[in-house]
Amino acid sequence: MTSLQQVNPRVLGVRVSPHSTRQSLAAHITYQITKGVQKPFKKVIDVSSGDPHKAGMKPISFVRQVLAVCLYPELLHDENLPQDARLRAQKLLAACGGGSVGSYSSPATGLRYVVQNIAEFITRRDAGVPSYPQAIVNTSGSRKALTMMMKLLASGVGENQTGVLTPTPCPYTLPMLLDEAGVTLAPYQLREDRGWAVDLEELQLALKTARGCCQPRAIYISNPGNPTGHVQDRKSIEEVIRFAATEGLFLLVDEVYQDSVYGQGREFVSYKKVLFEMGEEYSETVEMVSFHSLSNGIMGECGLRGGYMETVNLDPAVMRCLVTIQSTNSPPILPQLALDLMVNPLTCGDPSYGTYTQEILFSQVTLAQNAQRAWEFLNRLPGMSCQPAMGGIHLYPQLLIPPGMIEQAKILGVEADVLYCQRLLEEEGVCVGAGCENGQTDKNYHLRLCVLVPPGTLEEVLARLSSFHLRLLDRFPLPDRGVKDRELVENSVA
Q: Would you say residue 13 has pLDDT above 60?
A: no
| pTM, 2 dp | 0.92
Pairing of strands 445-450, 398-399: antiparallel
Helix (H) or strand (E) holding 203: helix 200-210
Per DSSP, the three-state class of 204 is helix
Q: How many CB atoms lie within 10 A of CB 87?
A: 15
Query: Looking at residue 15, what DSSP letter applies?
Result: P
The stretch 445-453 carries a mean pLDDT of 96
User: Which architecture, in CATH terms, is 104-343?
Assistant: 3-Layer(aba) Sandwich (3.40)
Tell me if domain 30-56+363-493 and domain 104-343 are identical in fold: no
Query: Looking at residue 16, what DSSP letter applies?
Result: P
Non-local (6+) Cβ contacts of 347 within 8 A are 353
Q: Would you say residue 303 has pLDDT above 90?
A: yes
391-448 per-position pLDDT tens digit: 999 999 999 999 999 999 999 999 999 999 999 999 999 999 999 999 887 778 999 9
| Cα–Cα distance measured from residue 270 to residue 224, given in angstroms and rounded to the nearest whole number | 10
Counting runs of H as helices and runs of E as strands, what totals does the chain give? 18, 14
Q: Would you say residue 6 has pLDDT above 50?
A: no
Report pLDDT for 325. 85
Separation in Å, CA 376 to CA 221, 236, 363 = 28, 27, 20
Nearest to 396 by CA among 244, 161, 179, 196: 196
85-127 per-position pLDDT tens digit: 999 999 999 999 999 999 999 898 999 999 999 999 999 999 9
Q: Taking a C-beta distance cutoff of 8 angstroms, is the pair 441, 416 a contact?
A: no
Domain ranges of the chain: 30-56+363-493, 104-343
Per DSSP, the three-state class of 59 is coil
Three-state SS for 69-88 is HHHCHHHHHCCCCCHHHHHH
Per DSSP, the three-state class of 234 is helix
Protein fold of 30-56+363-493: Aspartate Aminotransferase, domain 1 (3.90.1150)
Report pLDDT for 12. 45
Q: Taking a C-beta distance cutoff of 8 angstroms, is the pair 52, 393 a contact?
A: yes
Average pLDDT value over all residues in the chain:
92
Backbone angles phi, psi at 222, to 5 degrees: -115, 115
Q: Would you say residue 140 has pLDDT above 60?
A: yes
